[in-house]
Structure 1
Amino acid sequence: MILNIIDWILVAALGLPVLYLFVFALFSMRRPDDDYPPARRRLRFVTLIPAYKADAVVVRTAQAALRQDYPADLHRVVVIADRLRPATLDALRRRPVEIVEVHFENSSKAKALTFAADTLGAGAADAVTILDADNLVPEHYIARLNDVFDSGVEAMQAHRTAKNRDTDTAVIDAASEEINNSIFRRGHVALGLSSALIGSGMAFRYDWFYANIRRCITAGEDKELEALLLRQRIYIGYLDSLEVLDEKVQAEGAYYDQRRRWIAAQFYALAAAVRQLPGAILAGNADYCDKLVQWCLPPRMLLLGLVPLWTLLMTALDPAGSVKWWVTLLLLAFALAFALPDAQTDARLGRALRRLPVLFLLTVRNMFRLRGTKERFIHTSHTGAGDPAPQNRPEP
């Protein structure tokens, strides 16, 4: 009887999340419709780049943000410099970049973005896009976003993808990123729901961003922005064909810190947003309800470890009762197969999978170390991995 009770508890805790992932992974296989008509006018853009101790990468990111097929007088690039070295600041000042220096006792991305918005002021632009200090964008990045926002879109997430797969951890991190893109962005949009935000490569109507960014107070500002948008019934689109390159973590320690920050952000976002659930249900706000369900999902690394382990245990203890778990395991395998792009399924991934047990144990440890992470920024170091070699071409 005790075994049966535990078994059905785990069906709810693990089986239902697997079914959720499978459904959206299946619909992610639809070709995304992200073609927007050419813009009738050119909007004013500002690109914000929060840079906390990002000396190794921020200059290259600023260069890519500047090098756009878009009128320079309609696009401002602002680096929010938090504890950058003097040499890095000098390198940035030699380029047409605006620098906003900040000094916080406890740094966070939300604080940096709020300070920049207050410095720029209301009406500084028509649209804002946010990049991490290690991101690289293509030359048509702002032009594509201009088409999007001229069409009346108010919030958009671009396709963030890996620029490096140079270690086993980076390969797994890159694969996880693409699975998230498929399930929580492309699959959701295919079913008429909003895309999830991811912290960078995202863009908003500037007046909305200016009015709402100061309401973000935790280290999970992207989750807070999502909740604000969905409560206001603002749809978040997804531009699958517009790629933003992002540096993937290379070491297990960095993976541990990054996932700890992400899990904590999801937990605190759920705790803050769940109070709005009854009103969202009564108002028929399906987007908001789905977001709360999404934030209830256990980390995928836990599913990859616990579902196979429990399936084998139930097979030994209760073969008849294990059938549902073999179905669950099969659905999980299909969900990952549907969601993972063919380009990621290579020999590198096969070799990297040997690190899954270690990453699973790190994830389990993270679940017990969330205390004190609500407002404290857990920094992920950057190395510039995957950055292209410098080119001998004039700076814009």
Structure 2
Amino acid sequence: MIVDILWLMLQLLIGYNLIFPIFLYAGYLLAGRRTFVNIRADEYDYAVIVTAYEQTDLLPAVVSSLLKMEYSNYLIYLVCDNCDISNLHFTDERVVLLRPEKVLASNTRSHLYAISNFKRPHELLTIIDSDNLVDRRYLKELNVYFDNGFDAVQGQRRSKSLETSIASLDAARDLYYHFFDGKVMFALGSSATLAGSGMAFKTALYVESFINHDLQGAGFDKVLQAKIVSRNLRIAYAPAAIVYDEKTANRTQLENQRSRWINTWFKYFSLGFSIIARGITKFSWNQFLFGIVLLRPPLFLFILLSILCFIINLIFWGIGLWLWIFAFLAFGMSFFVALRHGRANRNIYLALVGIPSFIYVQVRSLMRIRHANKRSVATRHLIK
């Protein structure tokens, strides 16, 4: 009897991840859409922080993209950590090239290093990866949400190219998370999750979050979002503030990247418990819902665990078999809803047949998480 109860509870803990998105989507449809518009006529002063570790080949492209923005009040700070910068030459006075004397090997250290070298006291900062490109209206679209009182904003990350099936599957995953963890969560009155780049903050908020917290390894965005929501501030989602991201191109690259990401989830998922507790004690829907999302395992992991539960029920013809079938159908529906809202192109849909192989690579990544941060602190992209 006790074994049956424990088995049922385990299935519920795993299976709810399959049906949770469809409930979020139902709430999203009922909540309606709130439109945000610019209030201020003048421009905020931005610091655009671009961090590079060891590899600088992509920096000229990202700088060129940033300089083309339809905006005038910003400076670009390039933090080249452990890099050879002898081949970097920028003539535009808006570009500030920084090379720390000591190796930092940390995103937050690089960001704080840039802040300590600001040429003027920028009110806002935005974080861009060294392999990103930005839309011309990127900063203008961020302004809409700062105008409306938000202290933190996450933009939308889109794929630069989908030349391989791995890149297409990676993009499909991103569309799922951007829709449910970004657009839907924000529309429901909670916060969008942070994606590591394409995000902006009030400078004072970022400094307060990390000035006394020396964070090493991957996952600064996970810690930062927890710190922000713990203060009951909301992270806005700006779908029109677009950053183009270089997707993983091969299995080795994907495996190394996912090892760091999975390691990060195991390291920081427990932050969700304290945020849920805050939400309950302070009657904060923002904190309560966000905390639940933080506890959710990586996509591939709860799918694999769900398949295992289904197989066990199938072998023993458990009473939960049809419930699992319903749960898989619900998840499949929610996944395709996300792809439709993200306007996924033909390459992404065609690549979906490779999902088993994609999951296999991530299982290999799971097996290597103990040494994830030692192998590399950043994803290395091949220069085309």
TM-score over 0.5 (shorter chain): yes
Q: 2:272·2:295 contact (CA, 8 Å) conserved in 1?
A: no
Percent identical among aligned pairs is 23
The corresponding residue for 2:77 is: 78
CA distance in 1, matches of 2:279, 2:252: 39
More displaced, 295-304 or 245-254? 295-304
Matched, 1:173 2:170: yes
User: Could you say if the C-alpha distance between residues 38 and 275 of structure 1 is closer, same or farther in structure 2, counting changes exceeding 3 Å?
Assistant: closer
Q: 1:195·1:238 contact (CA, 8 Å) conserved in 2?
A: yes
CA distance in 1, matches of 2:164, 2:86: 29
Q: 1:46·1:78 contact (CA, 8 Å) conserved in 2?
A: yes
Alpha-carbon distance, 1:342 to partner: 6.1
1:52-67 pair list within 5 angstroms: 52-67=53-68
CA distance in 1, matches of 2:292, 2:151: 24
The corresponding residue for 1:348 is: 347
SS of 1:46's partner is strand
Alpha-carbon distance, 1:303 to partner: 3.3
The corresponding residue for 1:286 is: 285
Q: 2:21·2:180 contact (CA, 8 Å) conserved in 1?
A: yes
CA distance in 2, matches of 1:342, 1:185: 12
CA distance in 1, matches of 2:74, 2:134: 14
Alpha-carbon distance, 1:11 to partner: 1.7
The corresponding residue for 2:108 is: 110
SS of 2:240's partner is strand
Matched, 1:202 2:199: yes
1:125 to 122, 146, 151: 122
More displaced, 129-138 or 261-270? 261-270
More displaced, 96-105 or 224-233? 96-105
Matched, 1:233 2:232: yes
User: Could you say if the C-alpha distance between residues 345 and 116 of structure 1 is closer, same or farther in structure 2, counting changes exceeding 3 Å?
Assistant: closer
User: Could you say if the C-alpha distance between residues 28 and 240 of structure 1 is closer, same or farther in structure 2, counting changes exceeding 3 Å?
Assistant: farther
The corresponding residue for 1:394 is: none
The corresponding residue for 2:49 is: 48
More displaced, 99-108 or 228-237? 99-108
User: Could you say if the C-alpha distance between residues 348 and 143 of structure 1 is closer, same or farther in structure 2, counting changes exceeding 3 Å?
Assistant: closer
Alpha-carbon distance, 1:377 to partner: 5.5
More displaced, 312-321 or 42-51? 312-321
* 1:286-327 superposed Cα distances (whole Å, 9 cap, x missing partner): 333333322221211123344345434423421643111111
The corresponding residue for 1:14 is: 14
The corresponding residue for 2:147 is: 150
Structure 2 counterpart of 1:286, one-letter code = W
Alpha-carbon distance, 1:209 to partner: 1.7
CA distance in 1, matches of 2:346, 2:277: 48
CA distance in 2, matches of 1:32, 1:243: 19
More displaced, 28-37 or 207-216? 28-37
Q: 1:106·1:377 contact (CA, 8 Å) conserved in 2?
A: no
Alpha-carbon distance, 1:356 to partner: 2.1
The corresponding residue for 2:215 is: 217
In structure 2, runs of 5+ residues without a counterpart are none
Q: 1:308·1:329 contact (CA, 8 Å) conserved in 2?
A: no
CA distance in 2, matches of 1:180, 1:229: 19
SS of 1:102's partner is coil
Alpha-carbon distance, 1:76 to partner: 0.5
Alpha-carbon distance, 1:259 to partner: 1.6
* 1:342-362 superposed Cα distances (whole Å, 9 cap, x missing partner): 665554234423432232223
CA distance in 1, matches of 2:115, 2:327: 46
CA distance in 2, matches of 1:376, 1:25: 38
Q: 1:254·1:381 contact (CA, 8 Å) conserved in 2?
A: yes
Alpha-carbon distance, 1:3 to partner: 8.2
The corresponding residue for 2:96 is: 98
Alpha-carbon distance, 1:212 to partner: 2.1
Alpha-carbon distance, 1:339 to partner: 1.3
User: Could you say if the C-alpha distance between residues 116 and 256 of structure 1 is closer, same or farther in structure 2, counting changes exceeding 3 Å?
Assistant: same
| RMSD of aligned residue pairs (Cα, Å) | 2.8
User: Could you say if the C-alpha distance between residues 130 and 106 of structure 1 is closer, same or farther in structure 2, counting changes exceeding 3 Å?
Assistant: closer
SS of 2:88's partner is helix
Alpha-carbon distance, 1:191 to partner: 0.9
Aligned length: 381
Matched, 1:191 2:188: yes
* 1:340-390 superposed Cα distances (whole Å, 9 cap, x missing partner): 1366555423442343223222323333433355798532112356xxxxx
Alpha-carbon distance, 1:246 to partner: 0.7
Structure 2 counterpart of 1:102, one-letter code = P
Higher relative contact order (CA 8 A, sep 6+): 1
TM-score by length of 2: 0.89
